[in-house]
Structure 1
């Protein structure tokens, strides 16, 4: 079998691989879709999966073809594992949704450019919702953000995995500028004080919610 290609994920059969393609905040262009369709047919890829992180996974490919397939899609390889910020998930917000109160897609794209792939103590996920219904599930993300008419709410330390945790509200009614500055502070405190591979939900339980708020707000 060929050497494991960088960024590809070995599958259950121990013979084929998957690659995950970046589709920032779940947005795809016509070119993206056409290129994906072309490579799926050309390389006889058996499975195309939209992941829970709003990314595209091409599953069941040969190791020696992984990089060529990625190149022909014209898309970047997404980070599938490792201690870094993996993605920003977002709902349609005011761009498309009748219930949207703020521009969640615009904010999420800005956060994607600022933070995705930045090193962190452990895997870190960000979500942005355009209204209080929180369709992007901010309370169970490391950094969760949702909007109201008054501004943005920031949640930290949520998790949806095997040990679920509802994140803590750090601040409410923030402007976009205030929110981004606070996200930077939250990530900096987490990065400076967390143990290696310590997810944000474990970190804030150990560090203390009130101590964390004090560190980022004062």
Structure 2
């Protein structure tokens, strides 16, 4: 079963990935046309993706093809997680970085990664207010005036946990290296899926709290 399509009796859903929460106008226009044609609903997810609901199974292939032709990518097993990002600078007067650009560089760094195990979530915040939930994500990146803070092991849900800060005021290159180390560690220690919070107590965890 493809997790991008949640199968019911006659309909399913399709999840379109939106890096940095941005919805390209061409895709938005096509989604509008498809929604009118097939009577779909549009749901904007908490992970900043776009989900088409009530997609007739007979139309799934056509809808995916029409969106893919415009550059749309879809949720699928093993994909590197797109960071949930706040709007960042210059659109927020508190934003210290362009979160769209930094998110793109994170995704470019890991574009050739063959497979990333679930259930990792990344978040990127342009300031310490952490509007994107950086402290309650498996890996959280927070911009400060002197570099990046990196958090690991946060989670939401019924038993939320605040992540552990494992890097303080580091460069972007050091931040990217920390993400890679964390994901490689998660991959070694995980069978199919696991939250990073469960690995904080592992004796091999690669970072101390700072």
Question: Where on the TM-score scale, by shorter chain, does this alignment land: which range?
Answer: 0.7 to 0.9
Using structure 2 for the length normalisation, give the TM-score: 0.87
Deviations 1:136-193 (A, max 9, x none): 1101111101111111100011111233211110011011111111111121122123
The 5 Å alignment of 1:90-101 reads 90-101=85-96
Q: Shift in Å at residue 212 of structure 1?
A: 2.9
Higher share in helix: 1
Residue aligning to 1:186: 182
1:108 to 100, 103, 111: 103
Using structure 1 for the length normalisation, give the TM-score: 0.85
Residue aligning to 1:66: 60
Residues 107-116 or 181-190, more deviating:
107-116
Deviations 1:29-62 (A, max 9, x none): 22121111111112221x1011101111000011
Q: Does 1:23 align with 2:37?
A: no
Q: Shift in Å at residue 211 of structure 1?
A: 4.2
Q: Which runs of 5 or more structure 2 residues have no equivalent in the other structure?
A: none
Q: 1:155 to 1:192 in 2, by over 3 A?
A: same
Q: Does 1:135 align with 2:118?
A: no
Residues 106-115 or 179-188, more deviating:
106-115
Q: Does 1:41 align with 2:32?
A: no
What SS does the aligned partner of 1:17 have?
strand
> How many residues are aligned here?
207
Measured on the aligned residues, the alpha-carbon RMSD in Å equals: 2.5
Rounded Cα–Cα distance in structure 2 between residues aligned with 1:130 and 1:140? 15
What SS does the aligned partner of 1:109 have?
helix
Residue aligning to 1:76: 72
Q: Does 1:154 align with 2:150?
A: yes
